[in-house]
Amino acid sequence: MRFSRPMPVFDATPSTGEAADFGDLPEWNLDDLYTSEDAPELTRDMAWLETACADFAAAYEGKLADLDATGMLACVHAYEAIDLIAGRIMSFAGLRYYQITTDSDRAKFMSDTQEKVTVFTTPLVFYSLELNRLEDEALANMFAENADLKRYKPIFDRQRAMKPHQLSDELEKFLHDQSTVGAAAWNRLFDETIAGLQFTIDGEDMNLEAVLNLLTDQDRAKREVANFELARVFEENIKIFARVHNTLAKEKEIDDRWRKMPSPQTARHLSNHVEPEVVEALRNAVVAAYPKLSHRYYALKAKWLGLETMQTWDRNAPLPKKDEKTVDWQEAKDTVMEAYAGFDPRMADIAAPFFSEGWIDAAVKPGKAPGAFAHPTVTNVHPYVMLNYLGKPRDVMTLAHELGHGVHQVLAAEQGELLSSTPLTLAETASVFGEMLTFQAMLAKATTKEERKVLLAGKVEDMINTVVRQIAFYDFECKLHAARAQGELTPEDINALWMSVQAESLGPIFEFTPGYATFWAYVPHFVHSPFYVYAYAFGDGLVNALYAVYAEGGEDFQEKYFDMLKAGGSKHHSELLAPFGLDASDPKFWDKGLSMISGMIDELEAMED
């Protein structure tokens, strides 16, 4: 169900500056969900949800096997209506919380709301269990008989993929009830700990977002100070972060063992509707490409910075001659909207209300969740985008990224509540494509060699962060979960696992000071969505291949692209890519995407001649 899905928090690279410098930054208007936590509409919907769940169970529990096609369609529609209201309620509670995670009233409201929704929906646990007990032939006959029901076949197929991993009805109900004091509680502890971290630099108190910003500062001394202050505070809190990771990994291991999952990654692959061998091909292609991508680029960057050896605080350093002027909000908006309109005016039309209707929350504020995300809410409302906008070119790319998600979510909403949700592997398509459109538009306007170099280097770094860094994150998670299965991990154990993938992925040009070993602690994906991270690399590789088709003048590309986004979760990735002549199961597919990054590094190297 949608309300149980965590909101994604993307690994957007922060920037530095003061919110007042960037113009009138928009804030969310959540009234399209509910006007307040005591709004009569919210009270009404909560009461409706409790009754509807009980009525659904009374009408259908133990009876799914007796339904004909018409009856099954009515059942699905009833379930979808419940999903819609539950998703609306939890979207409102969650978005309010992420605006100020340190507000105890908002945190209590979200927690209380989650507990109520969990209790109300517990009677629905039977639904997926009984669906999985239906005979294949019986379902096939229903789909043949009723075209409207057949439209939901992808939902049935995904649910039945979990059939071998299904527990007893009683155990499934217990796990559903217990969820609010399990992973959800540890997620909340992590969020509140991260939001409450305080750092001190030159006598000034800062939050995590502000200190991470300094890692992109032109002044190397400031970057170094920020690095060690991050390490100091992470070390002070490392036992909490280690406890969170130990507990969540162990809980997952228990759940996986009971469900007979063959690996810790299996559940993620199933939810992403992607075959393990496809992910393995992606992972292997990226790791094999480390020397020609990250190793080669960072060696080149070291020359630009005049360094024989890079430190971790140099990884996201700006180029020495880079113009440090900030980008105000209006300029950022115009840049992205022009790029979107240049691809297809319909894309800009869909994006426009995000700016004018309070669908974006852009400013950095005390207690606000770090990073950025686009949350689809429910299909009869609209998505909301969260940013922490601080005026650097990377923030423009973050806007392009999250707005791409928003456009995708608007288009996919046509599928309805159950079919709109896109697997994570394909959820990154529109966002990364939006970034690529914006980058190419900016590159086309470059008038000097130096300007082109800065843009190319920035894009290469973003793609390395999206592909190389995220696959390194994925390898870290694989090692973490494998090690935790053997016993409790000390903070030092986790540090060692982190460093084993960092050295491999970043390359020999880097030295690693001891404090960097704790930097796993602040990455939210490891906590909220285990093994999520490969979706970024999947999306980047897919988009690079897609963009190559577009650049080659693929016939009716825009129409095919919009059709792909409109499909939401109604089709498998193989069906969505087929019109473009692409196949993600072919290892050469990933090489094509990686070659685009390598080609940009080739151009940067040629500029040195």
pLDDT for 26:
95
Residues 154 and 570: beta-carbon distance below 8 Å: yes
CA-angle at 67, arms to 65 and 69, nearest 5° = 120
The domain segmentation of the chain, as residue ranges, is 2-186, 202-322+465-528, 329-457+535-575
Helix-helix angle 491-506:238-258, to 10 degrees: 90
Residue 299, judged by CB atoms within 10 A of its CB (0-12, 13-18, 19+), counts as: middle
More confident residue, 55 or 22: 55
Enter the tokens of residue 415: 């599928």
Enter the tokens of residue 177: 């009830």
Q: What are residue 599's DSSP bridge partners?
A: none
Residues 425 and 278: beta-carbon distance below 8 Å: no
* pLDDT tier for residue 11 given thresholds of 50, 70 and 90: very low
pLDDT for 24:
87
- Residues listed for the chain: 609
pLDDT for 408:
96
Contacts of 346 (CB under 8 A, 6+ apart): 562
How far is residue 340's CA from residue 417's CA, in Å, rounded to a whole number? 26
Residues 231 and 518: beta-carbon distance below 8 Å: yes
Residue 18 clears pLDDT 60, i.e. is over it: no
More confident residue, 12 or 321: 321
Fold category of 2-186 in CATH: Butyryl-CoA Dehydrogenase, subunit A; domain 3 (1.20.140)
Percentage with pLDDT > 90 across the chain: 72
Residues 222 and 317: beta-carbon distance below 8 Å: no
Residue 15 clears pLDDT 60, i.e. is over it: no
pLDDT for 609:
64
- Taking only the tens place, the pLDDT of each residue in 465-507 is 989 999 999 999 999 999 999 999 999 999 999 999 999 999 9
How far is residue 307's CA from residue 323's CA, in Å, rounded to a whole number? 20
**DSSP state for residue 372 in the 8-state scheme:** B
Q: What are residue 373's DSSP bridge partners?
A: 386
Residue 7 clears pLDDT 50, i.e. is over it: no
Tell me if 202-322+465-528 shares its fold with 329-457+535-575.
yes
- Taking only the tens place, the pLDDT of each residue in 180-228 is 788 889 999 999 999 899 999 999 999 898 899 899 899 999 999 999 9
How far is residue 541's CA from residue 531's CA, in Å, rounded to a whole number? 17
Enter the tokens of residue 179: 């969820």
- Taking only the tens place, the pLDDT of each residue in 421-470 is 887 778 888 998 999 999 999 899 888 888 899 889 989 998 999 899 99
H or E segment and range at residue 258: helix 238-258
Residue 104 clears pLDDT 80, i.e. is over it: yes
Enter the tokens of residue 397: 């790319």
Residues 391 and 326: beta-carbon distance below 8 Å: yes
How far is residue 582's CA from residue 514's CA, in Å, rounded to a whole number? 44
β-strand 199-201 against 204-206: which pairing, if any? Answer: antiparallel
Fold category of 202-322+465-528 in CATH: Neurolysin; domain 3 (1.10.1370)
Alpha-carbon distance values, 141 to 1, 157, 161, 546 (Å): 26, 15, 19, 37
Enter the tokens of residue 254: 């228990």
Q: What is the mean pLDDT of residues 230-235?
A: 97
Alpha-carbon distance values, 439 to 276, 400, 452, 476, 598 (Å): 32, 9, 11, 30, 17
Residue 12 clears pLDDT 60, i.e. is over it: no
* pLDDT tier for residue 161 given thresholds of 50, 70 and 90: confident
* pLDDT tier for residue 8 given thresholds of 50, 70 and 90: very low
CA of residue 161 relative to chain centroid, distance: 23
Enter the tokens of residue 240: 């909490």
**DSSP state for residue 439 in the 8-state scheme:** H
Q: What are residue 199's DSSP bridge partners?
A: 206
Enter the tokens of residue 590: 């990933």
How far is residue 437's CA from residue 443's CA, in Å, rounded to a whole number? 10
Q: Which of 285, 281, 287, 254 has the alpha carbon at shortest distance from 269?
A: 281
Phi-psi region of 22 (alpha: psi -120 to 50; beta: other; left: phi over 0): alpha
How far is residue 91's CA from residue 45's CA, in Å, rounded to a whole number? 13
How far is residue 605's CA from residue 598's CA, in Å, rounded to a whole number? 10
Enter the tokens of residue 445: 């306007």
Residue 91 clears pLDDT 60, i.e. is over it: yes
How far is residue 167's CA from residue 165's CA, in Å, rounded to a whole number? 7
β-strand 384-386 against 373-375: which pairing, if any? Answer: antiparallel
Q: What is the mean pLDDT of residues 412-418?
A: 95
pLDDT for 293:
97
CATH architecture observed for domain 329-457+535-575: Orthogonal Bundle (1.10)
Q: What is the mean pLDDT of residues 77-96?
A: 97
